[in-house]
Structure 1
Amino acid sequence: MPRRAATAEKPMTRKRRDEVFDAAARVFAERGYHGASTQDIADLLGMRQASLYYYFHSKEAALEEVCARGTAGFIERAEAILKSDEDQGTKLHLLLAAQVMPMAEGADYVQTFLNERKWLPTESRRRIGRMSRRIEAIFERVIRDGIRAGEFRQEINPRLATLGLLGMMNSVAAWHDRESAGLEKIAEALSNLVIGGIRQPEGSNYGS
């Protein structure tokens, strides 16, 4: 799972910080925000509860950091896809897959972000919300550009399509581990389903 930059820290300190937030993500994912405690996190790490406050000052702060890490990498990958020279159909396919594949090694972070961020204090929720909206904006841009280019159906509402697609792909976090197909096959199947439905039919006289 991509980590947030911490250039001022020594490697061992960064490693321990990552371990602490890995444990916090696991506890939040398994117990939910209200069912989790900092003692649960400390117990999982085999350390004193008081020692956790070196890494975060409250349970709310731990949740915000886990949620921020849950989006880390998503925005960077989406930005790179948006700037690529691929056609809009390929960009959308890549964006959809990029929403799923990080669940392989960062499932606890993703699950916490999706299910528990609503419990963040107002200002924290706004900060995390800005990250979500950037991803939404990239999806919407690709869909709009695809419509303009004649690749996607003209009747598609880019905003509603964006919210629906993100909802579908994010739901994979709740059920993928019960399926024999791996995440790569799940991402490919869902992406193909979407692209097949959104593309302008061949032989259309769009733009003529």
Structure 2
Amino acid sequence: LRQALQLGADLVGGHTIVDADGKRHIDTILNLAREFDVEAEFHLDESGNREHYLLPYLARRMMELGLQGRVTGIHCCTLSALTPEERREALELIRESSLKIISAPTAIATRALAPVKELLAAGVLVGIGSDNVRDFFNPIGCGDIKQVALLLAYVQRFFTAEDIKQLWDMLTGKGAALLGCEGYGIAVGRRADVTVLAAHSPVEVLAKQAAPAVLIRGGRDVTEEILGS
């Protein structure tokens, strides 16, 4: 990892469950992130088992090292196994450390996911991820984030108008914020990167799994170039 960062890698990642000492694993990754001034990402608490619960340790270490808002936790399933009081304490730590969360339901929908609605209500920056694209863990993963959002909608009942609005925001504005994309959105002076989907509303996008109709990159129509005729 150190060599990769020395060669210019702009992010460092870890996976707490694959190391016998998860806390040492977290310390190693966070120290590298601080040393090379990059953000860090962890597959965190993926099993959903309380014995693997390291989110509080990660959040506290982030604050001790001055890495607030520079770390993302993917999965965080153990949050759903906590008592209400434990979950309140965890949400407070997430807010204090500005830990960002990504839910990747296509990877682990057979177990309880992180409580996305509660995280959003607490003001946590939450995004949606695919985790796997046609690999050993998910040979049918295609990387289409609309599919992932649809599964999350079913599993955690994102069905009201407000729910759909929040889900769409995770696919767009919140997703961009989580990735640190500057100048995101349509406005005068911003880069003209636009994807037009063949639907009239976010609900229709999810229900139809609407395909891209027009692709604009840097102000240039690249639809035929990317999608073909």
TM-score in terms of structure 2 length: 0.30
Question: Which structure exhibits the higher relative contact order, with contacts defined as CA atoms closer than 8 Å and separated by 6 or more residues?
Answer: 1
Judging by fraction of residues, say which structure has more helix.
Answer: 1
Judging by fraction of residues, say which structure has more strand.
Answer: 2
TM-score in terms of structure 1 length: 0.33
